[in-house]
Amino acid sequence: MPHAPVAKHEPSPWAIEFRGVGRTLPSEDGPKSILTGVSGRLARGRVLTLIGPSGAGKSTLLSLCNLLQTPDMGEVFIWGREVRTWLLAELRRRVGLVMQQPVMLPGTVADNLAVPSRLHGRPQPDGYRLLQQVGLDPSLLQRPAAELSGGQKQRVALARILSNEPDILLVDEGTSGLDRESAEIMERHVRRLVASRSLTVVWVTHDLEQARRMGDETWLMDKGRVVEQGITEAFFEAPQTEIAKRFLRAGLRADRRTLAPGEEDES
Ligand SMILES: Nc1ncnc2c1ncn2[C@@H]1O[C@H](COP(=O)(O)OP(=O)(O)OP(=O)(O)O)[C@@H](O)[C@H]1O
Ligand SMILES: [Mg+2]
């Protein structure tokens, strides 16, 4: 029996798919491989937490999804289409990236929030609502963005990305400068968007508790490779590889060192 033809524009169930992705950069000691053979996929409406030691390649992997960098090997598919075949503006609207060190543009917070809609020729966003969504006081709208604290800038960067109504959100250490309460406001908001709009999220974090709270799936990266992929609960309860076991043990020890005396007995 002949196969049914595949509709050309049928949306892929996979928001993101990496197929054998590699990236090499020149260095003083010759070419240095920073990503090697990365494969994996994430369905719509799922939250992937991406963890791993510093230098593992997490930010590099994110940057391939909206073409801040291109892979030298393999392919990256967004909604079933290879990233390099997308119109860049459309790709960047639909795949929002909150960077590790967000850049504020000159002007007020309101000006910053208006940038994406101006670029994409859409009506001005409701800055008041956007700030509320990320737990910031809307009275900040008229403040020069450069005067905000690091944590406030991170949240304005998230609000700015959300004004595009992306369907994929990439967050690179988005809560690292925030106190626990502000971090949890951001987590809850992103989780609400996942539930209400089936937003797909890749969330990079060094905070293992957060990776566990936020993730449906978790990938551990090390030295440019994805060394373990799993459902988040299973990954943290019963990691399969030695490297994941060691990484989780070391992470938990590091977390304990930051606890105040007397807090250890809580967990
Ligand atoms: N522009 C660049 N030029 C040279 N090397 C780079 C460049 N960008 C990244 N690297 C190297 O690529 C590797 C992966 O970096 P990447 O920033 O993706 O790691 P990461 O997992 O995000 O680390 P961190 O947790 O510290 O943010 C590192 O060894 C880094 O030094
Ligand atoms: Mg990084």
User: In terms of pLDDT, which residue wins out, 66 or 11?
Assistant: 66
pLDDT, tens digit, 9 for 90 and up, residues 100-158: 788 899 999 999 999 988 888 888 889 999 998 888 999 999 999 999 988 889 889 99
25 Cβ closer than 6 Å to some ligand 1 atom: yes
Q: How confident is the model at residue 253 (pLDDT cuts 50, 70, 90)?
A: low
Domains of the chain, earliest start first? 14-245 (3.40.50.300)
What pLDDT, in 10s, does the model give residues 54-68?
Answer: 999 999 999 999 999
Q: Which of 28, 29, 49, 58 to mutate to test the pocket of ligand 1 (most atoms within 8 A of CB)?
A: 58
- pLDDT surpassing 80 at residue 6: no
- Ligand 1: residue whose CA is nearest its atom 8: 60
Give distance in angstroms: CA of 111 to centre of ligand 2: 27
Query: Which percentage of the chain shows pLDDT scores above 90?
Result: 72
Q: What average pLDDT score do residues 9-24 get?
A: 87
Q: Does position 5 have pLDDT exceeding 80, yes or no? A: no
Could you tell me the distance, in angstroms and rounded to a whole number, from the CA of residue 206 to the centre of ligand 1? 15
Among the ranges 10-24, 41-55, 100-114, which has the highest mean pLDDT value?
A: 41-55
Residue with CA closest to ligand 1 atom 7: 25
Which atom of ligand 1 has the smallest separation from the CA of 57?
18
- Number of the ligand closest to the Cα of 219: 1
Q: What rounded mean pLDDT belongs to the chain?
A: 89
pLDDT over 60 at 7, yes or no: no
Measured in Å, residue 145 CA sits from the centre of ligand 1 at: 27
Of 95, 99, 110, 79, which Cα lies nearest the Cα of 10?
Answer: 79
Task: Note the ligand closest to the C-alpha atom of 38.
Answer: 1
Whether the predicted pLDDT of 8 surpasses 80: no
In this prediction the pTM is 0.88
Residue 10 vs residue 170, higher pLDDT: 170
Q: Is the CB of 205 under 6 A from ligand 1?
A: no
Ligand 1 neighbourhood includes 222 CB (under 6 angstroms): no
